[in-house]
């Protein structure tokens, strides 16, 4: 069976799908991934076929997260809106070239649903966030707080608004490229043309988000998709020396959006670590740490695989991206999430509610004092540490990729 996977975004939007592709390949599927060209080498090193997608969306998304200028953010957002239409063309070219029997797509790849319709093949949506299945248990994740009886309604409102925003571009693509009739602005893209539901794979641990009782049978929470076995990566000697030189350090890194207000935030983090009296590894993300004078208790790094580093940490502090959250929980370490935007507050609240992390500190409120206090809470709360350890053991016992493969096999027969 030939499976085409489409996705784009930051590394957290790509890595789970590389992991899935690798698992499907080992199960004798023929797999290809269509995503931004910047990830071509990451995909091909696992001997997975790469299919071209322009890199402009990745570059624009990166710049949008880096800039502090409101004017530049607005201008960049407009360019992203235009680029979405171009990516649809790349999705179609990739499908024509590969001729898949099944298409698995991140919902940001707006063309894939329609490409599957044109080719007459099944399609499965997949996203590492419980965003597309309304439930009473929690509100749509971008809200990050319980809305009671409005929880289910919040999903419908956001989903319809997001579909409507790109309806013009979608219909242009359907007409000019696929020769398909236009669809209504508020068409339900969670249903196929025959009225049946589009299956959804959520690569999320049911030990982190228990499957809601009102989830339909076509929504599958498989467990995380981790990309293990990166044996070619070797740590620099200085990092190994730091790890061996004293007490177990904590990890701090704010990922793809760390460049925004980075100077002020970095200084607050340095001061907070000093006040806590702990040692730390500080990951730069997209920010520049060269301008700072770090004390001997802090070791700055550019990029280190979380699967290698997190098990060696006493606690992890990060922005709350879905992938980083999963890696920290899997390592069994207490976490502090300092969210910026999007779904990050949702994950921060979830970690706190599970009792495996400190209360989230939004980036706008991050100060040396509250950071030091949160660090000491995580390192001195034995009950929190035990819960984190237990959750990590449960996650490590899961096989999300094998579960996903079983679901795929059942769907396509």
Query: Most confidently modeled of 137-146, 148-157, 366-375?
Result: 366-375
Tokens (6 digits) for 248: 């177990």
Look at residue 63 in the predicted model and tell me its pLDDT. 60
Q: What domains can you pick out in the chain, each with its CATH number? A: 2-224+398-412 (3.40.50.2000), 237-396 (3.40.50.2000)
- The rounded distance, in Å, linking the Cα atoms of 89 and 391 is 42
Across-strand partners of 280? 250, 298
Q: Are 320 and 303 in contact (CB under 8 A)?
A: no
Could you give the CA distance from residue 200 to residue 389 in angstroms, rounded to a whole number? 30
Query: Looking at per-residue confidence, does 67 or 310 come out higher?
Result: 310
DSSP 8-state assignment for residue 197: B
In this prediction, residue 214 carries a pLDDT of 97
pLDDT of res. 260: 56
Cβ distance 360 to 335 under 8 Å? no
H-run or E-run covering 275 = helix 262-276
Give the C-alpha separation, 298 to 278, whole Å: 9
What was the pLDDT predicted at 204? 98
Q: How do 123-126 and 30-36 pair as beta strands?
A: unpaired
**The predicted structure's pLDDT at residue 74:** 62
Give the tens place of pLDDT for each residue, 162-207: 888 899 999 999 999 999 999 998 899 999 988 999 999 999 999 9
Q: Are 17 and 33 in contact (CB under 8 A)?
A: yes
Confidence (pLDDT) at 303: 81
**Residues 223, 208: contact at Cβ < 8 Å?**
no
CA atoms in the 13 A half-sphere facing the CB of 304: 23
Q: State percent of the chain over pLDDT 70.
A: 91
Cβ distance 50 to 40 under 8 Å? yes
Q: Please determine, for residue 347, whether its predicted confidence score (pLDDT) is greater than 70.
A: yes
Quick one: pLDDT at residue 216?
A: 97
Going through 234-337 in order, the beta strands assigned E by DSSP cover 250-253, 280-283, 298-301, 316-318, 335-337
Residues counted in the chain:
413
Minimal CA–CA distance to 106: which of 79, 120, 124? 124
Our CA dihedral for 45, 48, 54, 57, rounded to 10 degrees, sits at -80
Name the average pLDDT for the chain.
Answer: 91
Residue 324 pLDDT exceeds 90: yes
Q: For 51-81, give the DSSP string.
A: EEE-SHHHHHHHHHHH---HHHHHHHHHHHH
Q: What is the mean pLDDT of residues 375-390?
A: 98
Its pTM stands at 0.93
Instruction: Please check the confidence at residue 67 and state whether its pLDDT lies above 60.
Output: no
Q: What is the pLDDT of residues 22-41, one digit of tens each?
A: 999 999 999 999 999 999 99
Confidence of residue 319 (pLDDT cuts 50, 70, 90): very high
pLDDT in tens, 247-305: 999 999 987 555 556 778 888 999 999 999 999 999 976 555 666 788 999 999 988 89
In degrees and rounded to multiples of 5, residue 283 shows phi and psi of -90, 135
Confidence check: pLDDT of 412 > 90: no
């Amino acid at each position: 069976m030939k499976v085409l996977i489409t996705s784009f975004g930051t590394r957290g939007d790509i890595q789970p799908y590389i992991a899935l592709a690798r698992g499907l390949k080992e199960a004798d599927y023929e797999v290809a991934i269509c995503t931004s060209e910047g990830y071509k080498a990451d995909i091909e090193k696992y001997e997975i076929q790469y299919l071209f997608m322009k890199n402009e969306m990745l570059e624009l998304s990166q710049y949008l997260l880096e800039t502090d200028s409101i004017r530049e953010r607005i201008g960049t957002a407009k360019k992203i809106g235009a680029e979405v239409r171009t990516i649809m063309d790349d999705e179609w070219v990739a499908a024509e070239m590969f001729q898949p029997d099944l298409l698995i797509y991140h919902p940001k790849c707006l063309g894939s649903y329609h490409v599957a319709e044109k080719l007459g093949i099944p399609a499965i949506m997949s996203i590492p966030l419980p965003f597309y299945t309304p439930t009473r248990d929690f509100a749509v994740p971008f809200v990050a707080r319980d809305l009671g009886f409005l929880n289910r309604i919040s999903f419908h409102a956001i989903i319809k608004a997001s579909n409507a925003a790109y309806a013009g571009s979608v219909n242009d693509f359907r007409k000019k490229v696929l020769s398909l009739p236009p669809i209504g602005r508020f068409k339900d893209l969670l249903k196929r043309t025959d009225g049946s539901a589009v299956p959804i794979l959520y690569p999320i641990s049911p030990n982190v988000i228990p499957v809601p009782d009102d989830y339909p049978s076509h929504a599958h929470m498989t467990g995380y998709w981790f990309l293990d076995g990166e044996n070619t990566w070797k740590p620099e000697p200085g990092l190994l020396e730091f790890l061996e030189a004293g007490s177990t350090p904590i990890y701090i890194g704010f990922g793809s959006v760390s460049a925004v207000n980075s100077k002020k935030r970095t200084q607050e983090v340095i001061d907070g670590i000093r006040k806590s009296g702990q040692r730390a590894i500080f990951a730069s993300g997209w920010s520049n740490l060269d301008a700072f004078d770090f004390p001997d208790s802090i070791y700055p790094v550019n990029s280190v695989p979380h699967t290698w580093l997190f098990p060696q940490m006493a606690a992890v502090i990060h922005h709350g991206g879905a992938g980083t959250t999963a890696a920290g929980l899997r390592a069994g370490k207490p976490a502090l999430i300092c969210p910026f935007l999007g779904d990050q507050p949702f994950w921060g609240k979830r970690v706190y509610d599970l009792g495996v992390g400190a209360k989230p500190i939004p980036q706008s409120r991050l100060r040396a004092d509250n950071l030091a206090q949160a660090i000491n809470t995580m390192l001195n709360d034995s009950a929190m540490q035990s819960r984190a350890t237990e959750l990590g053991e449960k996650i490590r016992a899961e096989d999300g990729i094998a579960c996903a493969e079983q679901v795929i096999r059942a769907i396509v027969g």
